[in-house]
Amino acid sequence: MSLIHGGDLYSASKRFGRPINDWLDLSTGINVHSYPIPAIAPPAWQRLPYLEPQLLQAAQHYYGTDHVLLTAGSQAVIERLPEILHQQGNRLCALLPDIGYQEHHRAWGLQTTVMTYSGLIDASAQISDLLNQPNVGHLVLINPNNPTGSTYGPDQIRTWAQQLAKKQGYVVVDEAFIDCQPQHSVMTQDMPDNVLVLRSFGKFFGLAGIRLGAMIAPPRLRQQMTNIMGPWCVNGPAQAIATEAFQNLAWQQSMVQQLQLEQGQQRALWQDFLLRIGTRLQADTPLFRSFLLPATQAEDLHTLGAKAGILVRPVPITETTTLVRVGNIDLTNQPHLDRCRAWQISIG
């Protein structure tokens, strides 16, 4: 079964009859200010892509640890982790957010029973309770949660990891959207060995198409993942671009600053309009924001937006409620700003 994700312009074009190049795509949380792609030397295309030591070093420096495995997107790790953790640790159920990047759910569901906690609210108490159940063996957190924005702090995560260590369980922390708020990362603190972190290159660097991600984990798990993935899993051009991007501290620092500064403006672009039609702001992050509203209204909003050439991402929560996630717009692009305003005015 394939899941629905943001950024699917082919499906949107087919459904709404609009050319692929005529969308203002706000349906993902990918940074609109992409890292400028450098010239790529022919060997990057021609040779088998053994991992460049320079890339690994730059990634280790960026993530602040030696325990990095680079992969073709964090999605590639998400698909394989349940099998590996079941082999390495216990074969018990996994506890996941009910709302959140659903590929975790799908991957664990192929391996074991999945139990859920609320992804919409702070579910700390619920998680602590459920981890005490003898049938629960692993915990998945998405920090910040996409699309709900909820987060859990390092101290809390350490306590859960210690709780699970007693049954050889693991805590998986998906930090795909954390790069603009590095101070919230579990990577800032010492964590027990049963905490694994997933990072995504595509979101912050705005280059989801090159397919690069990282798993930060102890050597045994990295080796196990490497064995399953086989050789050459990160292609040569992706390696060339990422080496430069990971080394470019000036770009990273100014981009974090820019996205943090723009966060209020990006929210303000939608907040008045959406609150006026009765929605509630649920998530507010530097790369996306989400609004909660009745399902029928969300469907109308999605359809009317698409007719105006603006694609947002509705995420059903219950039969009657939906979250609408809205990504960033290039605030210097006047035609895009005009398109948003025209749509808002047409809705009233």
Ligand X SMILES: Cc1ncc(COP(=O)(O)O)c(C=O)c1O
Q: Is the peptide bond before 147 cis (omega within 30 degrees of 0)?
A: yes
146 scored as a contact of ligand X (CB under 6 A)? yes
208 scored as a contact of ligand X (CB under 6 A)? yes
82 scored as a contact of ligand X (CB under 6 A)? no
174 scored as a contact of ligand X (CB under 6 A)? yes
Shortest separation between residue 146's beta carbon and ligand X, angstroms: 4
Residue number of the CB closest to ligand X reads 73
The token duo for 228 is 């399953």
Shortest separation between residue 147's beta carbon and ligand X, angstroms: 8
172 scored as a contact of ligand X (CB under 6 A)? no
Length of the chain in terms of residues written: 348
End-to-end C-alpha distance for the chain, whole angstroms: 39
35 scored as a contact of ligand X (CB under 6 A)? no
* CB closer to ligand X, 213 vs 314: 213
- Measured at the alpha carbon of residue 53, what is the angle toward residues 51 and 56, in degrees to the nearest 5? 80
* CB closer to ligand X, 123 vs 308: 123
200 scored as a contact of ligand X (CB under 6 A)? yes
* CB closer to ligand X, 96 vs 221: 96
101 scored as a contact of ligand X (CB under 6 A)? yes
Q: Write down the residue that tokens 């350490």 correspond to.
A: 158
Distances (CA, A) of 307 to 23, 300, 345: 10, 10, 14
Part of the chain binding ligand X (CB under 6 A), chosen from 57-65, 71-79, 123-131, 185-193? 71-79
| Dihedral of the alpha carbons of 259, 260, 266, 272, in degrees to the nearest 10 | 180
Shortest separation between residue 63's beta carbon and ligand X, angstroms: 14
Shortest separation between residue 198's beta carbon and ligand X, angstroms: 6
CB 100 within 8 A of CB 144: no
What DSSP line would sit under 49-99, residue for residue?
-PPPHHHHHHHHHHHTSS-EEEES-HHHHHHHHHHHHHHHS---EEEEESS
- Binding residues for ligand X (CB under 6 A): 73-75, 101, 142, 146, 174, 176, 200, 202, 208, 213
